[in-house]
Structure 1
């Protein structure tokens, strides 16, 4: 029986794909996970006004091209990091294909990428909303600019009430860092969770500038990864945080 947890990496195939997968492998090595890479293509991106036969030929050609691109990226990373990565490509309705793949594979972690405050998305800004709605596990949104390897140098933060003991992936990452954990609280929090010993706390006034101030403090403190609790935040607020903060984020289940 395979007891390894599963990380699902959702990404298009572009210049960011290799870096996203490398960060996925770094995380997988820490939490003892296997990686499944999933790419979805819309038929309308491949086929214009063609006959059915021509359309099928175009899709088949694009499938082979994309598959070869992915295999090349995966082979390079697998050889470099000695790690096996499975992959799948699908053509169809993006939301439906991702939802079905989540149900079929039942991952423990879904990993997405972001660059300079913008989530890498196949279909606009609704990707994080879709994942929050359809997936109950841990979500990791990785930034190109931040360290993700579980090393002593990684700098970790907590937003509002995050109980680390309820998420084994967060607990594991915290155990690797020798830097003080930093807690960022927006003072609307009613119930306060006890933070680990030696945690440095920052408190912000609620208001229009709260997220901007939070972003500034995260940058000043060089936070690589910020933990959020989805039960304490609305989906719309999480989406806003993802697009506003220049660090990687892990959203607990």
Structure 2
């Protein structure tokens, strides 16, 4: 189990900031012993219109060649620089259908998405981030376009409403090995729920911040994340739906927090 490689699927829209998203993914892969599959999809409407069949075939072939060239130019130098394996794949099709098929084919442990400025749940189409969060029962990383992680840097890891069970995840254990900094725990409590964090977890001291639920609590948490220079925030899967403890959902968190986020579905907890 120690030498197990994590399979990481990066869904890219090939926009201007794709290089930073890929660098963050490569840094993560190096930290956790992962391998990356870079996947780009174009909707048919982006490629051909109502032309004759021969012209459409030529356009599709040209798009494949241009896209492959673009992807290779982006990926090869980053793969070499970070020393990680990155496979590349490209297809033309309906985005959600192609993502669903590729998840079943590749069986990733982690899916990486980029967060769009001012449109946090839009990627390569209509609400693809929300689609992945609701359909993929695994780890989803919402990577930053601006902040770039380095694989050899000391990681500052934060957790939001995490539990003891969270810390048994193999992925989290791998990330904890990358830092000597105290683990930062951020809890948002609604009502009189007591804090139950341990003082020491895996020999790492824990610094805990507890917030009472208010309408602007996520903005307050965001300020604390920046102040504490958090590189990655793990978000407990309970935040996918409104509940009695938190009072908000994953859309609130993605839309208002500026740091890279890591969300995990329940199947990724070890027993």
User: 1:87-102, aligned counterparts within 5 Å?
Assistant: 87-102=88-103
What residue number does 1:128 align with? Answer: 129
Q: Report how far residue 68 of structure 1 moved.
A: 0.7
What residue number does 2:31 align with? Answer: 30
Q: Please, which moves more after superposition, 129-138 or 97-106?
A: 129-138
What residue number does 2:227 align with? Answer: 220
Q: Secondary structure at the match of 1:111?
A: strand
- Could you state the TM-score of these two structures normalised by the residue count of structure 2? 0.84
User: 1:6-21, aligned counterparts within 5 Å?
Assistant: 6-21=7-22
- How many pairs does the alignment contain? 251
Task: List gaps (5 residues or longer) in structure 2.
Answer: 243-247, 266-271
Q: Deviations over 1:201-245 (max 9, x none)?
A: 112121211111111211222211111111454288112211211
Q: Secondary structure at the match of 1:89?
A: strand
Q: Deviations over 1:119-160 (max 9, x none)?
A: 461014x12211112211111111133353455532211111
What residue number does 2:82 align with? Answer: 81
What residue number does 1:194 align with? Answer: 197
Q: Report how far residue 194 of structure 1 moved.
A: 3.0
Q: Report how far residue 94 of structure 1 moved.
A: 0.5
Q: 2-side partners of 1:193 and 1:117: how far apart?
A: 35
Task: List gaps (5 residues or longer) in structure 1.
Answer: none
Q: 1-side partners of 2:132 and 2:252: how far apart?
A: 15
Contact 2:26 2:79 in 1 (8 A): no
Q: 1-side partners of 2:208 and 2:80: how far apart?
A: 42
Contact 2:239 2:249 in 1 (8 A): no
Q: Please, which moves more after superposition, 112-121 or 78-87?
A: 112-121
- Could you state the TM-score of these two structures normalised by the residue count of structure 1? 0.90
Q: Deviations over 1:87-144 (max 9, x none)?
A: 11111111000011001110001011225464461014x1221111221111111113
User: 1:71-220, aligned counterparts within 5 Å?
Assistant: 71-116=72-117, 118-119=119-120, 121-124=123-126, 126-151=127-152, 153-163=154-164, 164-188=166-190, 190=193, 193-195=196-198, 197=200, 198-220=205-227
Q: Secondary structure at the match of 1:29?
A: helix
Distance 1:49 1:169, change over 3 A: same
Q: 1-side partners of 2:199 and 2:69: how far apart?
A: 47
Q: 1-side partners of 2:162 and 2:83: how far apart?
A: 37
Q: Please, which moves more after superposition, 196-205 or 144-153?
A: 144-153
Q: 2-side partners of 1:250 and 1:238: how far apart?
A: 11
Q: 1-side partners of 2:232 and 2:208: how far apart?
A: 16
Answering whether residue 263 of structure 2 is matched by residue 248 of structure 1, we say no
Q: Report how far residue 13 of structure 1 moved.
A: 1.4
Contact 2:143 2:261 in 1 (8 A): yes
User: 1:48-59, aligned counterparts within 5 Å?
Assistant: 48-59=49-60
Answering whether residue 249 of structure 2 is matched by residue 237 of structure 1, we say yes
